[in-house]
Amino acid sequence: MQLFLRGKWRDLSKKTEVVNPFDGSVIDTVPSASPTEITAAIDGLIKGKETMRNMPSHQRVEILRRTAVLMSERQEELGRLISTEEGKILAEGRIEAGRAAETIDLSADEARRLNGETLPLDSTPGGIGKLGFTLRIPCGIVAAITPFNFPLNLVAHKIGPAIAAGNAVLLKPASDTPLSSLKLVELLLEAGLPEEAIACITGSGAALGQAICSDSRVRKISFTGSAEVGEQICRSAGLKRVTMELGSNSPVIVLDDADPQKVADAIAITGFANAGQVCISSQRILATARIHDNLVDALTARIKQLTSGNQLDEQTHVGPLVRERDAQRVEEWINQAQRNGAQLRCGGKRQGSVIQPAVLANVTSEMRMSCEELFGPAVGVSRTETIDEAIRLANDTRFGLSAAVFTQDIDKAIRFAREVDSGNLHINFGTAWRAEIMPYGGLKDSGMGKEGPRYAVEEMTETKMVVIH
């Protein structure tokens, strides 16, 4: 596929291969852009931001609605593309394609809600006789830097609100999974988005990131990825508006009154979807003493039922990691944990980029698979004595994106919600659950700002204050 630059699909002499993570076969090639293309893209988007700023909201609504319809009509094609380039199983690819269409459709709703407010300036003596109101205006050019693990829906969560708010968009997709982004650009153009309003530049993030973040004409940066890269972006961005959706090592507290089988079933979904390559994947299981042994047994039995392998095989439950070196890292962290006293109850073996779904018991907070973001198909179970200790351990991390508790005690559930430092909190399910409409974002090193169409639109607009004297 080609990149999209200054209203045209263009090729470059330097190419990057996009490969199937399972077998390394080449799916397609994309141009490897340089900072020169980034500058050219922003040059072209200057006109695009004026086009979008002056476009009536009903036209933005129509473009987004048509895009959502096209995505729904091509859900199977998009789902298969997602699975092929990213490695998630076909069922998950289809779900992501459907969710992405929902995200675009919800964004259309927000294009109708860009209203300001009237302020009672006469609430102070100096404001008597004056009329004040606010206007919400688009930022201008929004840079969307997106991750590999949800190559369509997380792109939609940035592109949809940006268009709804009346911005032009510079899209830099993950170098491992650019095809889904390019396909979304095709559909947006087919739906009527002005050609000057979007650019999609493929290539290395390391090579292009600085050029994007340092250009003063980019007013807003929305990034999803690692905390380390997010910090670099913030340093380069200066006074730009930024939304950072970063990593986590999500804890799941399991109290004595929980049902071990229900917990195991939930963890099988929320800890192993997309081979654990989800920033809110259930990673740390903190089980109180009375339920611990039964939970480990139930969880082990449930995870043993998950098959791993070729993501395009309808019978596979857990596909490959996006790169073999990532699978090697996960394998090493599992081995490190065992060397330090953890017990491997099932899985953990690696073949190429595939890791068998793993459960480890006797995991301590000092082990890398516990204190860092694993991003792989394994969970670690730790024994805790009380809810106090469980909450302390849940908070004993630099991350705070998602957390969960299993209990039938409403008082303890509310205490969990109040005391655990996390942007997303789940009661009686695992951590990896998200509705497109909800405000989504983390605390601490898990980021800043919120996504979800309504909340992203707020982040992608600026407020003007008007006073009539």
8 Å CB contact between 264 and 298? yes
> What is the separation, in whole angstroms, between the first and last Cα of the chain?
56
Task: Enumerate the H helices of 258-386 as residue ranges.
Answer: 260-270, 289-304, 324-339, 368-371
Q: How far apart are CA 32 and CA 42, in angstroms?
A: 17
Q: What are phi and psi of 146, to 5 degrees?
A: -115, 155
From the list 469, 462, 460, 466, the residue with the least C-alpha distance to 222 is: 460
8 Å CB contact between 146 and 172? yes
Give just the sign of the alpha carbon dihedral 394, 396, 397, 401: positive
Query: Catalytic site residue 110?
Result: no
Q: How far apart are CA 103 and CA 57, in angstroms?
A: 17
Beta bridge partners of 243: 222
From the list 201, 164, 195, 196, the residue with the least C-alpha distance to 182 is: 201
| Cα–Cα distances in angstroms (integers) from residue 306 to residues 103, 272, 281, in the given order | 30, 9, 16
Query: Catalytic site residue 245?
Result: yes
| Catalytically annotated residue among 139, 200, 213, 279 | 279
| Catalytically annotated residue among 86, 96, 196, 245 | 245
Tokens of 12: 């470059």
Q: How far apart are CA 340 and CA 342, in angstroms?
A: 6
- Which regions of 140-271 does DSSP assign to beta strands (E)? 141-145, 168-172, 198-200, 220-224, 241-245, 251-254
Query: Could you tell me if residue 203 is left (phi over 0), alpha (psi between -120 and 50 degrees) or otherwise beta?
Result: left
Where in the sequence numbering do the catalytic residues fall? 245, 279
